[in-house]
A and B are shown apart, each in its own frame.
Chain A
Amino acid sequence: ETGVTQTPRHLVMGMTNKKSLKCEQHLGHNAMYWYKQSAKKPLELMFVYNFKEQTENNSVPSRFSPECPNSSHLFLHLHTLQPEDSALYLCASSQDGFGSPLHFGNGTRLTVT
C-alpha cells in the first residue's frame, strides 16, 4: 500500500461530462503533483503545488482544473475533455517542491469516449 491514495482507479467519461480525480497523501509532505502518463511517452508534469500554492502549470489546457485545499489533498477537475486526454493520471507528493524524491499513487486510468 502506498502513502498516496488516488480515487477512482478507473474512470470512463463522455466529452460533455464533468468529473473529478482525488488524491490524498499520508506522508506529511508539503508538495503535491499531477502527472499524465500516455502510452510510450515520458511522464508529463501538469501541475505542482507547494504548501498549497500552485507553483507550476505546464501549459495545461483549461479543461483540467486543479485544486489543493490543504497539503494532504489534491483534486483534478475535468470538464469537456477530448479523446486524446485518455491516459493514466498520476498523483505524487514530495517533502518539498525542489526535486526531492516523488512518491506516486497508483493512478486513475481515464478513458474519454
Chain B
Amino acid sequence: GESVGLHLPTLSVQEGDNSIINCAYSNSASDYFIWYKQESGKGPQFIIDIRSNMDKRQGQRVTVLLNKTVKHLSLQIAATQPGDSAVYFCAENGAGGSARQLTFGSGTQLTVLP
C-alpha cells in the first residue's frame, strides 16, 4: 500500500551542526513533495517543496534532496539553531483520489542541544 514514513522518530543535534531528516515514500506516482515544520502549540508551517522533475532545491538554510530511484526524500538544515527544534513532516501527493491530496508522514522530532 501507499505510505510515507520517516526513518527516525527523534533526532538530536548540537547547535551549529547540520541536520538531516529523512523520509521514504512508496508511491511511484508521487510527483510533488513538501516538508513542514510544526512547533509546539502551532500548526504545521510550510518549509520547502520539490517536484519530481528536480533532484535538489535550496531555500534559506534548508535543502531538500529527492532520490526517485530509491523513493527517498531528505531535508537538510544548515547551522541548526535552537529555533529549529520542532517536529518535521514530509508529505507527498501520490495518495490517489481525484484531488490527489497530500499524504503526511508521522514526523521526526528534532531537538537542538546547546
Contact = CB atoms under 8 A, between A and B. Distances in A.
Nearest to A56: B99
A4 B43 contact: yes
A78 interface: no
Bin chain B's interface residue count: 20 to 34
16 contacts: A42-B104, A42-B107, A43-B104, A50-B99, A55-B99, A98-B99, A99-B32, A101-B34, A101-B46, A101-B49, A102-B34, A102-B44, A102-B102, A106-B41, A107-B42, A107-B43
A48 B99 CA distance: 9
Nearest to B48: A101
A42 B42 contact: no
Bin chain A's interface residue count: 20 to 34
Interface of B: 4, 32, 34, 36, 41-46, 49, 89, 93, 97-107
B100 A99 contact: yes
B43 A56 contact: no
Interface string A5-49: 010000000000000000000000000010000001111010010
